[in-house]
C-alpha cells in the first residue's frame, strides 16, 4: 500500500479519537436530533442509495455467475426500497432508546463531603469491520452516536459504493445537527484492515461482522479487544428424563428454523437410556425436513439405514446447513463434558423434566446461553429484548451472548471532594471511611 494512503487512514482514526471526546460529552437532544436528521436524509435520498447499490450489484452479478460469490452474500448486498425503510425504522428505534451516557451506576459516601460516583460513559472509538451488508452502516452508526462512541468502519470492497453513499448521507445529516464530522470515518480497501488492526492506541474495541474465518483472522491479528464470536457450535442434549415430544420439537426447531446462522444446533446429544425410544421418531422428523444426519456408532445401531456415520471431525464442525451430528451419552455429566470440550461457548440446551440434571447442566455448561426446554434459536438480541444487536459474544469478559448498546459502554469513577487529602485517612490517627451507599445521582 502507498505510504500516503496508510497515513490517510491512520490520520482519520486519530481524528476520530479526538472527536470521540467531544461526542462523549454531547447532550441527548443534540444526539436525537442528529438521528432524526439521519433517518430523514435516508428517506429523501433513496435514489442515490439505490443507484450506488446498483453499481455494486452489477459487479457482483458477475461474481455470482462465476461462483465467486454465494447467493446468500449476494442477497445481503442488495439494497431495496424496503430495506431502506427498514434502515430508517432502525434509526427511529434508536431515538427511542434511553441515553445511557452519564447514568449513575453507584454512589458511595467515603466521608463528609467526599462522594464517589460510578458513571456510565462510552468506550471511545470502535472499529467495525464487516462484509457485504450495507445496512450495517446505519445500524451501527446510530447505535454508536446514541451511546457516544466514535466509529471507524471498514466495509467489504464488494459493497464499497453502497457503503460510501450511505455513510456520506448519514455523516452529513449528523454533522448538520451538531455532531463532530470526524467522529465517523469509513475505509474500503482490503489492505486497510492491517492499518486498523495495528491501531491499538486509538481503537478501543473491534466488532467484526462476517464469516467465522474472517472473525478468526481478526482475533488472531490484533491487540485490540475483539467483541464477537468465531464459531457457533450449539448442542441440544436430550436427557433420560426428557419429555420426548418437547425434545423432538425443540431439536427440530433448533436445526431447521434457520440453519445458516450461529445459533442453530449442530450436534444432538441423546441419553442412551431413551435413545431407542427417541431416535427413530427424531430421525423421521429430520428425514421429512431434508436434514442430513451423521450418527455415532451407538446411534447408528438404532437408526442405521440412510444415515452417514459421524467422524471425529463432525464434533467440531459448524455446518450452517441442514446437517446434524448425533451422539449418545450415558449421563448428563458426559453431556456437559462433551459440550465444554467441543462447543464454542455460544448456546446449549437441555431437554429434561429432572431438576437435578437441569441444575447441574445450568451451573456446569460454560456457555453464554444455557437453555432449558427451549430452542437454541432464541439466542438473539431482538428476542432477548435488546432492540438493536451489536453482535453475539463468546468472550469471557466485558459482554457475553447477544450484545446490545450496553456492550458499547464502560464507566468512570468521579470523586467529589472539598480539598480532601489522603494523609487524613492514613497513619496512627487515621480517620475512618464511612463507605455508605447513597441513592443519589451525580450532578456537578
Residues 354-393 that bind a second copy (CB under 8 A): 355, 358-360, 362-364, 366-375, 377-379, 383-385
**CB 183 → a second copy: shortest distance, Å?**
14
Q: Which is nearer to a second copy, 140 or 374 (CB)?
A: 374
DSSP letter string, 247-301 = HHHHHHHHHHSSTTSTTSEEEEEEEHHHHHHHHHHHHHHHHHTT-EEEE-HHHHH
204 binds a second copy (CB under 8 A): yes
**CB 277 → a second copy: shortest distance, Å?**
17
The residue whose grid cell reads 459482554 is 399
Q: How far apart are the first and last CA of the chain?
A: 49
**CB 135 → a second copy: shortest distance, Å?**
19
422 binds a second copy (CB under 8 A): yes
The whole-angstrom distance between residue 267's C-alpha and the CA centroid of its chain comes to 22
**CB 229 → a second copy: shortest distance, Å?**
14
Q: Which residues contact 180 (CB under 8 A, 6 or more apart)?
A: 19, 22, 23
Q: What are phi and psi of 316, to 5 degrees?
A: -115, 20
**CB 355 → a second copy: shortest distance, Å?**
5
Single out the segment in contact with a second copy by CB under 8 A; choices: 66-74, 134-142, 240-248, 302-310.
Answer: 240-248
Q: Which residue in the set 43, 417, 440, 441 belongs to the binding site for a second copy (CB under 8 A)?
A: 417
Query: Residues 311, 393, 164, CA angle at the centre, nearest 5°?
Result: 110
Q: Which is nearer to a second copy, 158 or 380 (CB)?
A: 380
Q: Which residue in the set 14, 78, 216, 246 belongs to the binding site for a second copy (CB under 8 A)?
A: 246
Q: Which is nearer to a second copy, 130 or 202 (CB)?
A: 202
**CB 86 → a second copy: shortest distance, Å?**
16
Q: Which is nearer to a second copy, 244 or 323 (CB)?
A: 244
Q: Which is nearer to a second copy, 59 or 416 (CB)?
A: 416
Per CB under 8 A, contacts with a second copy among 3-32 are 21-22, 24-25
Q: Which is nearer to a second copy, 148 or 156 (CB)?
A: 148
Q: Which residue in the set 239, 253, 296, 314 belongs to the binding site for a second copy (CB under 8 A)?
A: 253
230: closest CA among 403, 381, 398, 391? 391
Cα–Cα distance, 381 to 138 (Å, whole number): 17
Per CB under 8 A, contacts with a second copy among 392-411 are 395-398, 400-402, 410-411
Q: What is the grid cell recorded at 396?
A: 469471557
The residue whose grid cell reads 426447531 is 253
Alpha-helical segments (H) within 100-155: 136-147
Cα–Cα distance, 37 to 173 (Å, whole number): 5
Amino acid at each position: 500500500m502507498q505510504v500516503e494512503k496508510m497515513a490517510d487512514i491512520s490520520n482519520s482514526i486519530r481524528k476520530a479519537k479526538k472527536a470521540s471526546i467531544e461526542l462523549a460529552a454531547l447532550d441527548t437532544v443534540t444526539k436525537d436530533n442528529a438521528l432524526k436528521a439521519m433517518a430523514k436524509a435516508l428517506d429523501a435520498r433513496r435514489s442515490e442509495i439505490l443507484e450506488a447499490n446498483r453499481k455494486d450489484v452489477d459487479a457482483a452479478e458477475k461474481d455470482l455467475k462465476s461462483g465467486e460469490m454465494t447467493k446468500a452474500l449476494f442477497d445481503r448486498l442488495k439494497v431495496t426500497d424496503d430495506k431502506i425503510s427498514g434502515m430508517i425504522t432502525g434509526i427511529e428505534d434508536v431515538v427511542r432508546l434511553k441515553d445511557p451516557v452519564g447514568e449513575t451506576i453507584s454512589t458511595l459516601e467515603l466521608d463528609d463531603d467526599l462522594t464517589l460516583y460510578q458513571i456510565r460513559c462510552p468506550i471511545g472509538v470502535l472499529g467495525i469491520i464487516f462484509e457485504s451488508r450495507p445496512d450495517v452502516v446505519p445500524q451501527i452508526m446510530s447505535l454508536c452516536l446514541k451511546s457516544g462512541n466514535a466509529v471507524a468502519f471498514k466495509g467489504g470492497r464488494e459493497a464499497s459504493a453502497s457503503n460510501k453513499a450511505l455513510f456520506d448521507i448519514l455523516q452529513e445529516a449528523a454533522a448538520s445537527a451538531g455532531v463532530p464530522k470526524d467522529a465517523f470515518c469509513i475505509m474500503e480497501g482490503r489492505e486497510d484492515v492491517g492499518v486498523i488492526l495495528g491501531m491499538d492506541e486509538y481503537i478501543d474495541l473491534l466488532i467484526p461482522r462476517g464469516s467465522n474465518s474472517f472473525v478468526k483472522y481478526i482475533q488472531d491479528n490484533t491487540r485490540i479487544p475483539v467483541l464477537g464470536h468465531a464459531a457457533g457450535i450449539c448442542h441440544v442434549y436430550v436427557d433420560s428424563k426428557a419429555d420426548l415430544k418437547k425434545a423432538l420439537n425443540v431439536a427440530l426447531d433448533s436445526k431447521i428454523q434457520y440453519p445458516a446462522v450461529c445459533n442453530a444446533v449442530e450436534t444432538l446429544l441423546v441419553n442412551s437410556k431413551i435413545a431407542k425410544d427417541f431416535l427413530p421418531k427424531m430421525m423421521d422428523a429430520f428425514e421429512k425436513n431434508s436434514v442430513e444426519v451423521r450418527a455415532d456408532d451407538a446411534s447408528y445401531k438404532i437408526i442405521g439405514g440412510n444415515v452417514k456415520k459421524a467422524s471425529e471431525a463432525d464434533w467440531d464442525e459448524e455446518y450452517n446447513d441442514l446437517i446434524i451430528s448425533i451422539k449418545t451419552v450415558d449421563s448428563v455429566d458426559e453431556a456437559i463434558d462433551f459440550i465444554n470440550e467441543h462447543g464454542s461457548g455460544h448456546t446449549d440446551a437441555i431437554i429434561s423434566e429432572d431438576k437435578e440434571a437441569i441444575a447441574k447442566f445450568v451451573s456446569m455448561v460454560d456457555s453464554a446461553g444455557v437453555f432449558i426446554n427451549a430452542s437454541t434459536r432464541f439466542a438473539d438480541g431482538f428476542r432477548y429484548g435488546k432492540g438493536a444487536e451489536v453482535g453475539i459474544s463468546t468472550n469471557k469478559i466485558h459482554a457475553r451472548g447477544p450484545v446490545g448498546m450496553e456492550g458499547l459502554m464502560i464507566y468512570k469513577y468521579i470523586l467529589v471532594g472539598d480539598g480532601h487529602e489522603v494523609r487524613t485517612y492514613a497513619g496512627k490517627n487515621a480517620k475512618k471511611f464511612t463507605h455508605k451507599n447513597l441513592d443519589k445521582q451525580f450532578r456537578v
